[in-house]
Structure 1
Amino acid sequence: MQEGSDSLYSREQVIQPGDQLLIRNLQNEALISGIGGQNNLQQMNAQSNTGYRVETDGMVLLPVIGKVKLAGMSRLTAQEHLNQLYRTQLLQNPIITLIISNLQVTFLGEFGRQGNYFLNKDQIHLAQMLGEAGGLNNRANKRRLKIIRGNLNQPEVFIVNLEDINSLSDRRLMLRNNDIVYAEPRPAFQFLDRINPSTSFLGLGLSVLNVYLLISNLSR
């Protein structure tokens, strides 16, 4: 398994252009400063519940404080940055929370439940998400679980052996946004999957014919 760049294997989710952010104000309305006023706070809460998109330039348009560049920041860094900005311009003791709502991974292959799953925490280990996906079925090759990461034109692909307990400590198993986790079938099932009823009967017929021709040639 090859190591990639630090950004690919960092444990913190980093905000990117195109991300959707859920930003909420949890502060008591009694703590509003004179800068914003009651109406502005209500407007901020209403818009926060619908989410904010990170534009291609990395900026996010927010109530009262206007455009703020959040792309490139971790979720916690961006959350603290917004708390500081709102503390300066609107709230005395703000409690601003930020969630990146579009983070997801895809599970394909021999899982109980294939599909897309949201990453609802900053750090989620592969083992945790395996449970969400219904675990591996009895066809799965537990020694060759693949994680496909990064640009799909030149992805980082590494193999996880779930039967090796030491492999679970690999930091690359902290899942990233848009990771694809693929569980391939065991070799025996791969062989069976390549044989359908029509080809199996045809193959059997050809085998019988070959044996008959061989015996006929030897008996001459």
Structure 2
Amino acid sequence: MQKVKKIVLIFFITILSSCVSKKDIVYFQNDKIEQAKFSNSYKTIFKPDDLLQITISALDIEAVKPFNLPAVNYSSTTNTVIGTPQQQAYLIDSEGNIDFPLLGQLKIAGLTRSETISLLKNKLDPDYVKNPTINIRISNYKVTILGDVKQPGTYTIPNERITVLDAIGLAGDLNISGIRNIQVKREEGNKISTYNLDLKSNKLFTSPVYYLQQNDVVYVQPNKAKFQSASYNQNTGLFISIGSVLISLITLIAK
């Protein structure tokens, strides 16, 4: 009888206990790095499906009007403008081009913001606009955080600059069951590249995906215990209760 009780006790201890080592959950504990190797420089690179808001300004207001066309909706009955006009946005197509007023198609994908501004200035000055000031922002800049975090989802980033740690913070941080080794999926050219990051290592700060790009996907994999617990069915609590009753009965009978 003692042997049966020991087996049952070991069984329940195995199920209910969960000992997590500090080394498995603490961030930035490994691999010291030299500060000189850490760079906070970041460049946005435009990609197909980016929706750009491009504003051209100059001293000659009339000269820039054709390049700041408003997007409007018209009533089908009165043929008048409905609502407040919004600035026209430019979608980078699958070939990497935008169709810009008067200038026609321009190859934008693969360029940084400063390179795109230089391209537009060279096209506009001096034939169309003298000394133009150009502002460009991505209106649909977003990243997605999936897996074992508190609030998975897709997040719009208004300032176009976000680190992988910022993204995890937006999602409410990792659950205690989240593995500190995470993946970043990034579309590069015509393929999806996968980068592995270890949140326990300071080498994270020197990774090429420490700064996320638009449409990056961050995936946090659950640990082994989380996988195992997901395999238990809805009646696990009932079975444990029945087991407890059986143990009590066995104990009473053995007395």
Give the TM-score normalised by the residue count of structure 2.
0.61
1:20 corresponds, among 51, 54, 74, to 51
Conserved in 1, the CA contact under 8 Å of 2:53 and 2:138?
A: yes
Q: Deviations over 1:96-151 (max 9, x none)?
A: 1112333322101122321112344565321122222222233322x222222337
Bigger proportion of residues as helix: 1
2:145 corresponds, among 107, 112, 115, to 107
Partner of 1:45: 68
Conserved in 2, the CA contact under 8 Å of 1:23 and 1:98?
A: yes
Structure 2 alignment gaps of length 5 or more: 1-41, 72-86, 243-255
**Sequence identity percentage:** 25
Partner of 1:6: none
Conserved in 2, the CA contact under 8 Å of 1:12 and 1:122?
A: no
Structure 1 alignment gaps of length 5 or more: 1-10, 206-220
Conserved in 1, the CA contact under 8 Å of 2:145 and 2:167?
A: no
Q: How many residues align?
A: 186
Partner of 1:163: 200
The higher radius of gyration belongs to 2
**Amino acid in structure 2 at the alignment position of 1:97:** N
- Distance in structure 2 (CA, Å) of the matches to 1:70 and 1:169: 28
Where in structure 2 are the equivalents of 1:94-133 lying within 5 Å?
Answer: 94-121=132-159, 123-133=161-171
Give the TM-score normalised by the residue count of structure 1.
0.69
Give the CA RMSD over aligned residues: 3.1
Q: Deviations over 1:156-178 (max 9, x none)?
A: 33332212223332223221233
Partner of 2:12: none
**1:204 Cα offset (Å):** 10
Conserved in 2, the CA contact under 8 Å of 1:146 and 1:183?
A: yes
Conserved in 2, the CA contact under 8 Å of 1:108 and 1:180?
A: yes
Paired residue secondary structure (2:199): coil
- Distance in structure 2 (CA, Å) of the matches to 1:81 and 1:192: 56
**Amino acid in structure 1 at the alignment position of 2:234:** P
Conserved in 2, the CA contact under 8 Å of 1:75 and 1:100?
A: no
**1:203 Cα offset (Å):** 10
Conserved in 1, the CA contact under 8 Å of 2:184 and 2:209?
A: no
Change (3 A) 1:165 1:187: same
Partner of 1:92: 130
Moved more, 13-22 or 72-81: 13-22
- Distance in structure 2 (CA, Å) of the matches to 1:81 and 1:154: 27
- Distance in structure 2 (CA, Å) of the matches to 1:53 and 1:74: 16
**1:188 Cα offset (Å):** 1.8
Runs of 4+ in 1 over 4 A off after TM superposition: 119-123, 199-205
